[in-house]
Amino acid sequence: MSRSASAVLDRAAAGERISAEEALELYRSAPLHALGAAADTVRRRRYAGVEHIATYIIERNINYTNVCVTACKFCAFYAPPKSDRTWERDLTDILRRCAETVELGGTQIMFQGGHHPEYGVEYYEGMFKAIKDAYPSLVIHSLGASEVQHMAKVSGVSPEEAIQRIKAAGLDSFAGAGAELLPARARTAIAPLKESGERWLEIMEIAHNLGVESTCTMLMGTGETNAERIEHLRMVRDVQDRTGGFRAFIPYTYQPENNKLQGQTQATSLEYLRMIAIARLFFDNVAHIQGSWLTTGKEIGQLSLHYGADDLGSVMLEENVVSSAGAKHRSNLLEMIHLIRASGRVPAQRSTTYEHLRVLEDPADDPVDERVVSHLSSTAVEGGGIGAIAPQRLLKVTPVG
């Protein structure tokens, strides 16, 4: 590492803001362990008093349809509208999955699905209202700017109106879906039919100003350059300076099976750990950095807690999208707790807004419910899911208003 890079790393560890150019230099050249140590120093200072804690959440990802007109090249989940592989899940089935989530101690549901050509704002209003009426304690942390752009277009309304209406129907926060890579060249290469990265951020800024906070993700390994990865961070940080609405940053890695990219490029585990560390050093205005065990594996997820991450993500009671592309990692609540403890941290179950719901200081107090497991997939893997999967039918909901 050059003398100048070493000085930048010292400044970043001390809490000074670094530029995108400096971040790129560190990402390219800083020794891995020095980079991780600096990021962990920042984490410890940010969470002084609770720096010994690492959090997790129990949630369920519910897919309402695989019909999608966007055709992203990295996606193995979607089906074109006229394909014989299309399906839509009905409201009865969705509510059953919500009930199971509550029964197993889950606090959050995430909705993921395709950009269905017939699903406008009314569809989401009806679904969210039905869920909140039946299970008011469940947090609906779902969708993102891409879905807002699509539903607004289908319904012929502005993104502002779409966000206001789904918020009134029960949406609590956006999951930051659809960010992928924000810089233009990288985004166009993998998702040419999606809105631009600038438009994605513009809609998120609108949401933040309307009181709907979000997370932000980044998909690594689809052929983007190191400079484009750092540019993604810069674009997010600039919006965060204005809104403060991004609660967490969550990088994850591209999975190579069953999609058009066919694994031509991928991100290594070391690249991922370097990104976790750089994100903690660069995002002086984003509170949380989340490690991902689902795409990188449990050991790398665990290591992320030593590279600046303060959260290990979720015990996913259901997950279909990245598992369709080859992510085969599974976990359960007991293992999640063990992974955190074995990394030298105290596990704490958190809420969507990162409040500690249950801090497990004493291992004797650890939960013992073996049913709380990450079910890899209910649609991509035969026999997946908690219970018998109900027939997938067209979801019919009553529009709100």
Give the closest residue to 97 by CA, choosing from 401, 311, 390, 398: 390
Q: Which residues contact 341 (CB under 8 A, 6 or more apart)?
A: 347, 363
Q: What is the DSSP string of 113-146?
A: ----TT--HHHHHHHHHHHHHH-TTSEEB---HH
CA dihedral 80, 85, 86, 91 (to 10 degrees): -160
* Burial class of 135 by CB neighbour count within 10 A (0 to 12, 13 to 18, 19+): middle
Distances (CA, A) of 90 to 112, 161, 290: 14, 25, 32
What is the length of the chain? 401
What is the amino acid identity at position 224? E
Is 198 assigned to a binding site? no
Give the closest residue to 49 by CA, choosing from 366, 367, 359, 337: 359
State how far the Cα of 187 lies from the Cα of 88, in Å rounded to an integer: 28
Is 180 assigned to a binding site? yes
Is 314 assigned to a binding site? yes
Is 72 assigned to a binding site? yes
Is 75 assigned to a binding site? yes
* Eight-state DSSP code of residue 88: B
* Eight-state DSSP code of residue 216: E
Question: Can you tell me whether residue 388 is helix, strand or coil?
Answer: coil
Q: Do the strands 346-350 and 356-359 form a parallel or antiparallel pair, or are they unpaired? A: antiparallel
Rg (CA), the chain: 20
Binding residue ranges:
68, 72, 74-75, 180, 292, 314
Binding residue ranges for [4Fe-4S] cluster:
68, 72, 75
Binding residue ranges for (3R)-3-methyl-D-ornithine:
292, 314
Binding residue ranges for S-adenosyl-L-methionine:
74, 180
